[in-house]
């Protein structure tokens, strides 16, 4: 299979991880999502792939309500990426 380049024109190979995480365009998006989440749960959220893509939320750090809202926000944030599939631009936090 020929490696296809990322459609966001960053010049890198556009595999699954890249499209959802590694791409510089999408990393900026996740950074903004993180800031919004921290405003909502009023504490620091992790900035790793385990939290954002696999949805691993620490029971030691977040209570049940916080885990629930974080799960919902992560779901919307990922849905937003698939909704903007093949778009050069990043989805926005407002979306």
Contact footprint for Zn ion (CB under 5 A) = 6, 8, 10, 23
Beta carbon of residue 18, minimum distance to Zn ion (angstroms, whole number): 6
> In the bound complex, what is the minimum distance in angstroms from residue 34's beta carbon to Zn ion?
19
Give the shortest CB-84-to-Zn ion separation in angstroms.
13
Q: How many helices (H) and strands (E) does the chain have?
A: 4, 0
Nearest residue (CB) to Zn ion, 16 versus 39: 16
CA gap 80, 58 in Å, rounded: 24
For Zn ion, which is the closer residue by CB, 10 or 69? 10
Cα 62 to Cα 65: distance, rounded to the nearest angstrom: 8
Asked if residue 17 lies in contact with residue 11, where contact means CB atoms within 8 angstroms, the answer is: no
- Of 6 and 37, nearer to Zn ion (C-beta) is 6
């Amino acid at each position: 299979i020929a490696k296809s380049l990322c459609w966001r024109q960053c010049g890198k190979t556009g595999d699954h991880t890249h499209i959802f995480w590694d791409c510089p365009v999408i990393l900026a998006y996740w950074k903004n999502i993180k800031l919004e989440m921290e405003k909502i749960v009023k504490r620091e959220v992790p900035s790793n792939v385990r939290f954002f893509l696999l949805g691993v939320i620490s029971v030691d750090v977040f209570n049940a309500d916080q885990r629930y809202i974080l799960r919902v926000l992560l779901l919307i944030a990922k849905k937003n990426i698939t909704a903007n599939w093949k778009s050069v631009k990043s989805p926005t936090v407002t979306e």
